[in-house]
Every structure is written in structure tokens, then in C-alpha cells.
Amino acid sequence: MTEFEIEEEKREILRQYRKLLRHAKPFLKDDDAKIIKKAFKMSQEAHKNMRRRSGEPYIFHPLAVAQICVEEIGLGTTSIISALLHDVVEDTEMEIEDIERHFGKKVARIIDGLTKISGVFDYGTSQQAENFRKMLLTLSDDVRVILVKLADRLHNMRTLDSMPRHKQLRVSSETIYLYAPLAHRLGLYSIKSELEDLFLKYSEPVKYAEIVDKINASKAPRDRFVRNFINPIQKELSKRDLKFTIKGRPKSIYSIWNKMTSQEIGFEKVYDLFAIRIILDLPPEMEKAGCWQVYSVVTDYYQPNPDRLRDWISTPKSNGYESLHTTVMSKTGTWVEVQIRTKRMDEIAEKGYAAHWKYKESDQSSTESGLEIWISKVREILERENASAIEFVDDFKHSLFNEEIFVFTPKGELKKLPGGASALDFAFEIHSEIGARCIGAKVNQKLVPINHKLKTGDQVEILTSNKQKPNEGWLSFVITSKGRTRIKDELKEQKKSAASEGREIVKRKLKQAKLELNSENLDKLLNRFNLKSALDFYYLVGKGKIDPKDIKKIKSNSEKPRKSIQQTYSDIESFQRTIKEVTGEKRDQLLIGEDMDIVQYSLAPCCNPIPGDDVFGFVSTHEGIKIHRINCPNATELLSKHGHRVVKAKWTSQSEVSFLAGLKIRGTDRVGMMNDVTKIISSELKVNMRSIAIESENGIFDGSIQLYVQNTKHLEMLTKKLENIEGVEEVARFDIH
């Protein structure tokens, strides 16, 4: 680097630091500025020889994270210091004790929560899950650890361009799986939306770019529409001497894509592409009446959809979110979502937890907030000492549900549950013992089974029996972390009891065959019955699912115990080397791993990738490398929990090999439609079909075709040809399971 460039970098670092202090100035007290300067100097010194993947000095990252904490979340001095130093312990020789000596226990505890666990992990565990659990252990004492982590994740996502593709996928999948729902749960809606949009940018770059282009192209007519829509409302509100601002904003790219995907529609058919937000400036005692007054004005001019009214003012969401939402029909025949809230509500909606607590301090009410209740539930999950980190992440994920329902006890007490909760979830919400003994429920005086899904407004009475015990099937419909935790604990106790009996049976049978119960014989038994753990084996024997007579047969079986992949390989590199030694030769045209070698693999049946698809390899425990599509329904979870088992994979040019793919086709029916479709597929493009099914009702036809194609380009060409057939409205790929 030239001397000029070095000097320019130094000036830019100083500019960023001064910008941070400028935003922090309104709440700095006493020696805060000096302590922040000390943290900045320490971070600068610690990272002085480090650069990010993009080539810029590393110090830009902690400065940017601190800036997000102040400007976008509204945090104070402790969080600024923690953000500036959050990577120091992980990346340098400095210890947590050094941080505590210079900046106190609070900062040290937050940084400890943000510092990743190092060391070697067992093959069946997940380093990502272990680190996430460690961070959440700190959450139960100080929620700022999560807020700083979200700021860190947001900046990493904003600068993900410089990372290699497989790392982009791992980081973005982890973000959508855990961090975006966590931002939502803490009420950080703007951060949640940006994280979701950035996930889409890296996971579905083509779709993302298409939606961005279409939003930009429709900006001028959209702005004109918004002006015409809000004009009569503005005039009426001004007459009533209300202080207000009105904004029209497009929905997030991710929410538009989600709607297009879930409803299988094009961009043009997403009716609520934007929302109108009316923000009132009112004192707390007038907020509720003022919002309903505005609702009255809006519905005087525009017809509301009665099914789309959401009143989160009377009953706020448990993350503190308050707003009144309605969807109304405009004069041009377009549905428009209108959000009505006050300045206080808007700040809580944008900045979440930090703003919520700012207003709580000025509020004398001592009622426990929904956020505090949720954090106490997270503590309950964390207290399960015998749960694996992956189990913990699963249970925690269940506690991040977006929607909520409000139900009542027989005495009229309100309970909040995640959308999709069952009567059994409600039973566990009242008390874990009531849940464990639940046999049914009465919902609105009517008898229902324990898996009955509850709706907002239901009044629920739980029926119990001392003879009832939780079973495995309960986990298929219980979604609250409290309920799932108790069920899993009970099942483990039941399993241990059955396994204890099973062990005695095994010991007895081996003794009859003049054999000992030792590790060598246990390995033989596990291999014979294709089981991974001794506990599973003993349990199945205890439950009578393995015939005790078969245990003696290992005496005559001289086969050595086979080593599973789990026992043999601790890393991907050794796994790949061994596969190459065993297979020697090529298979198909997929290059795998950092060196882009040809190794043996199989295609995952959950998403049926075909040549040309954007794919990744996943080292499974027993089945070698499985190839998944990037947009496979299981991809997010695999990349989030087991990023260390993901390998790069890329298709090369193809030979004439056929792969099974599925197409859905929809449109208006006419005579000869079926003939035109099959003619394009079979005659024109010479594609072999596995099956075709078309149904027609009231002039609309829906069809699904399974066919063999060479690659994605071949499939795209076929899709375009089918779209050009008269009467065909939509053609979309679907996964064949």
C-alpha cells in the first residue's frame, strides 16, 4: 500500500470513530467518552495487523457494530464498549480477565457470551449450536449480549459479498434460521427485515434481483398511487387538529418473495406490495382513543376487509409491539394495508427491546412485560442440563414463533401462545404436571382431543388423569418449548428405565452363550442391529422390539465390527480422501470440496437436484456425501446447525444424462390444451415423461408433470415453451419427494 492510502485509511477510521461519538453524545455521562476512547484504542491496537476478507482494516468492523448498536438499536455506553471489543478475546492474546480489569464485570460478561467456543467437537455435535447456547446463557442475565450479536450479524451480512459462496450460504442460512426470528422476537423489526432481505440476496440471487428491479420499476406509479390514497385522509386528520405523519413504504423483498413462493403467484399478483403507516404524536393517555379515531377516518373513505383487522393496541404482542392494522380497498381496486400507531409505538416497533425499556422506566406500572416472561422461558430451556446443544436450538427455535394467539382459562385469565398451539400446549403453559397428565380438553364447553389446535378467543379447560404418561407422538403437535422440554425429559426417563431392564436381559443372554458384556461384544451387537448407541439397543431389548434369542447369535458371527463414518472420520478432508481411494473413478459431473475433486456422492431425495442447480454437499453420518439444492426445504437447517459438514459442490458441463424434475402448470382450459402440452414436451423437445396429471374445473385447469431433463437450462427452455402456449398462465418447478 502507498503512504497516501495508509493515511487515507487512518483518516477514515477517525471519521467513523467521531461519527460514533456524535450519535452517542446525547446519553453520555461523566467519564463515558473517556472509557469509549479507551475501548476504541484497545480494539485498534489488538486488530492493528488484521484485515477483513474485503481488504479493509479489521477495526472498521467493530466500529460499524458499535454504530449499529447506537443508531439502529438505541443502546448505551456498555454496549458500545462491548461492540468495540467483541472480537478481541477471540482473535488476540487478550483474556476475559483483562477486559474485566479494564472495563468491569458487565462488559466482560457480554464479551464472554459473544466469544465463540474453541476446540475440537465430537462428530455428532454442532459447533454452531454450542456457541449459540453459550451466548444465550448470557442472555438470561443481560439481554445486551444478543443485541450486540444481532448488530455484529447485521454488519457481517451487509459485507458478505467478499466471502466465498459456501460461507455466504452457511452464514445466511444461520441468519434466517436463528437470528432473523430472534430480532423479530426482540421487536427489532427493521433489523429483522434487513436480515431476511440479505438472506434472500445470497440464497436466491436471481429471484432477489428480479424483485428489486420490479420494485424500482414500479416506484413512480406507486408514489403517485400513495399520494392519491393518503390525500383525503390527510385533509380529514388536519381538520381534527391531530399531529401526524404518513409514510408509504414497500413491503420487504423477502416478504414479497415469501408470498410469491407460498401462494405460487407472480410479482404482479402480490396485491399488498406496500403499506401506509400513520404515526400520531399523542400523550400516553390519549393513544388508544387517537388510533381508533384515525381508523374511523380511514374506513370512512375506504372499505375495510373485516378479516384483516389486527388490534395489537388492546393486546400488544409479547415483544412489546403495539399497532392497529387494517387492510382496505382503494378506489382503483387494490388492497392496501394501513398501520396506525403513535410515535412511542413506532420507536418500540423499530428499535424493539432497548426502546421498550426506555419507556418502561418512565412508566410506573410494575407488570411483567411479555419480553421478560419470554426471557424467563428461555431460562427454563437453558436449565435442562442433559439436553444436547442441537436439541436446545430446536426447542429455542420453537419459542421464536412469529404469530401469537390469545386464549382464556375457565376463570377468564388471558394466556398468550404461539400460533398453531394445541390444547396440550395450553395444559403445559398452566403447569408442566398438568400437561404431563392431560387426556383431553374442553374448548368453549366442547370436548376436544389433546392435539386440537386453538384459536384466538378460545376458552380452554384441561382434563387430566393420573394414569396418563407422555409419549413420542406428543412431540408431533406440541410446539411450545416448555411443553417439548417436559415431554423429552419424561421420555428420557422412560427410556432409561426400559434400557436398564434391557441391559439385564442382554447380560443374561450373553451369559447363557458363555460370553461377557464387554465393549467388543457390544460393538458386534450394535453392528448386527445397525444401531448407533448402547442406550438405543438396551431400550429396544427392554421394550421387546429386539428378540432376546437373536442376541446369542453373535457367538457364531465372526464378522468384525464395522466402523461407522462417525467413528472413523473427524473432518471433511479425511472423509473426501478416503472416498477417492475407495472409488478411484469419476461419477457423473459434479465437482466437490475446496479442490473441486470428483468424489462419490448421492442426490438428496428431499430436493432432487439436477445439473445446473445451485447445490452444496453435506457429509451425512452414514451415507457419505449427499447433494442438496441451495433452496432445498432442509438446506437452512443443515447449514445452520452443521456448517462444518458442508462442502462446496458445482456442476460441470453435462453429457446426455437424464434427471427427474417436476413442473406444475395452470391456466384457462380449452379444447386441445392437453394435446399442445404433450406435443411441446414429447415431439418438439424430445423429453421423456414419467407421469402427467391434469384436472379441469369451471374452465380452470391444474396439472403436474414429472419428466426427465438434462439440466436446468433444458428445464428453463421447456418452461418458456410451455408458458407460450395459449391459455397457460403459470409454469413452476416443484420438488418430487
Where in the sequence numbering do the catalytic residues fall? 90-91
Instruction: Give the Cα-Cα-Cα angle 160, 175, 39 (nearest 5 degrees).
Output: 70
Contacts of 339 (CB under 8 A, 6+ apart): 275, 276, 277, 278, 323, 324, 325
Q: What is the Cα–Cα distance from 102 to 38, expressed in whole angstroms?
A: 9
**Strands, DSSP E only, in 460-595?**
460-464, 590-592
Cβ of 684: how many Cβ atoms within 10 Å? 10
DSSP one-letter code for 293: H
Q: What is the Cα–Cα distance from 422 to 451, expressed in whole angstroms?
A: 5
Q: What is the Cα–Cα distance from 11 to 5, expressed in whole angstroms?
A: 10
State the amino acid at position 284 in one-letter form: P
The residue with cell 420453537 is 398
Instruction: Give the Cα-Cα-Cα angle 619, 621, 622 (nearest 5 degrees).
Output: 110
The residue with cell 452464514 is 171
Number of alpha carbons in the 13 Å side-chain half-sphere of residue 508:
11
Q: Are 590 and 607 in contact (CB under 8 A)?
A: no
Q: What is the Cα–Cα distance from 244 to 291, expressed in whole angstroms?
A: 11
Phi, psi of 91 (to 5 degrees): -100, -10
Q: Sign of the CA dihedral 408, 409, 415, 417?
A: negative
Radius of gyration of the chain (CA): 30
Contacts of 553 (CB under 8 A, 6+ apart): 528
Dihedral-angle region of residue 306 (phi above 0 means left; psi in -120 to 50 means alpha; beta otherwise): alpha
Phi, psi of 389 (to 5 degrees): -65, -35
Long-range contacts of 134-137 (CB under 8 A, 24+ apart): 136/378, 136/382, 136/396, 137/113, 137/382
Q: Are 630 and 624 in contact (CB under 8 A)?
A: no
Dihedral-angle region of residue 333 (phi above 0 means left; psi in -120 to 50 means alpha; beta otherwise): left
| CA distances for 100 relative to 38, 96, 114, 139, angstroms | 13, 6, 14, 18
Cβ of 590: how many Cβ atoms within 10 Å? 22
